[in-house]
Amino acid sequence: MADHLDRILEEKYTTPLRTGYKWFDDIFMLNPFENHVERIKNFQVRDDDIWLSSFPKAGTTWTQEMAWLIVNDLDYKGAEAVLPTRFPFLELGCVADFRHYKRQHPEFECPESSLDPIGYINKLKCRRLIKTHLPWKYLPLQIQNQSTKA
């Protein structure tokens, strides 16, 4: 069964941005996830952060747009900025390796929010809206132990 799964992942899901999958306890992720687990676990959550945690393909993008507009008083002009800069995807660096791709293709234009989403989110000054598809046990410890109002 594992060989069959490996073959399917290699043939159907391996791209220049997505290579190498493995099990991390009970979830199947790309290899770069291993480099981000501790950063995510120890991520400093702010009380005014808004977290959108959902399953993939469950209307997350639509919900992000609604939440961003509500928080920003229906600023439609501001909403023209690409979504990952307004509402960063916490583990994007774990599911697509933009840094590796950029090293191979220096001409590739990529926003910082995609190259290092965790670092990007940490630098945000205003109220942060953060998207994740991670299971509860992989969210920052401050969320798990409810030591934040986020």
List of domains in the chain: 1-145 (3.40.50.300)
How far apart (Å, rounded) are the C-alpha atoms in residues 56 and 132?
9
pLDDT of residue 2: 62
**What pLDDT shows up at residue 120?**
95
Instruction: Give me the amino acid identity at 93.
Output: G
Main-chain phi, psi angles of 48, to 5 degrees: -95, 5
Residue 122 pLDDT: 95
CA terminus-to-terminus distance, the chain: 41
Tokens in use for 117?
């989403």
What whole-number distance in Å separates Cα of residue 119 and Cα of residue 133?
18
Give pLDDT tens digits along the chain (150 positions).
Answer: 567 777 777 777 777 777 777 778 888 787 788 888 999 999 999 999 999 999 989 999 999 999 999 999 999 999 999 999 999 999 988 777 777 777 888 888 888 888 889 999 999 998 999 999 999 999 999 999 999 999
Of 4, 36, 100, 133, the catalytic one is 133
Question: Which residue's entry shows tokens 């994007």?
Answer: 92
Cα–Cα separations (whole angstroms), residue 24 to 12, 29, 30, 69, 94: 21, 7, 9, 35, 12
Q: What is the pLDDT of residue 79?
A: 97
Instruction: Clarify whether 133 is annotated catalytic.
Output: yes
Q: Which residues lie below 8 Å from residue 77, measured CB to CB, with a gap of 6+?
A: none
Name the nearest CA neighbour of 124 among 73, 85, 75.
85
